[in-house]
Amino acid sequence: MRQKLREVQIKLMRGLLDLVILQFLNVEPMHGYRIITSIRRNFGVYFGPSTIYPLLGVLEEKGYIKSQWNLNSDRPRKVYSLTPEGSSLLNGTEESLNHICRRLTSIGLKRIHINGNNCTLKQPQQLT
């Protein structure tokens, strides 16, 4: 059973991965490796470079994020940040998730609690 629950967690994370990345970048700009480690630390799920970097490329092509090379560190890193379009998408996606969550609770799923309330998302926090 534990393995099945883990599979569900990974499936949900895969479906929400773009939202998770946008939310991380809403808090602060990050390079790709930091995004990978933040996902693992905050969600307990590992998505490697072959998953994250192509997704970053798609998000950048669509105008939701932008990148800039940081040449001031030991090694050059491409740092990604959220654009105004990405911020708008993130806000709309949060509203959609809240709607889905409210609908699930209205049909009887009782255990969805975010921030102590049914279907209320927390404000962004500093990442670990």
Question: Considering the domain boundaries, does residue 38 fall inside one?
Answer: yes
Total domains in the fold of the chain: 1
Question: Considering the domain boundaries, does residue 118 fall inside one?
Answer: no
Question: Considering the domain boundaries, does residue 95 fall inside one?
Answer: no
pLDDT tens column, 68-111: 999 998 899 999 999 999 999 999 988 888 888 888 888 877 66
For residue 17, the domain's CATH number is: 1.10.10.10
Question: Considering the domain boundaries, does residue 121 fall inside one?
Answer: no
Query: Has this prediction a pTM greater than 0.85?
Result: no
pLDDT tens column, 16-46: 999 999 999 999 999 999 999 999 999 999 9
Question: Considering the domain boundaries, does residue 96 fall inside one?
Answer: no
Chain centroid to Cα 35, Å, comes to 9
Question: Considering the domain boundaries, does residue 125 fall inside one?
Answer: no
Q: How far is CA 66 from CA 53, 59, 63, 81, 113, in A?
A: 13, 8, 7, 5, 33
Question: Considering the domain boundaries, does residue 110 fall inside one?
Answer: no
Give residue 21's domain range. 2-83
SS3 label, residue 11: helix
Question: Considering the domain boundaries, does residue 111 fall inside one?
Answer: no
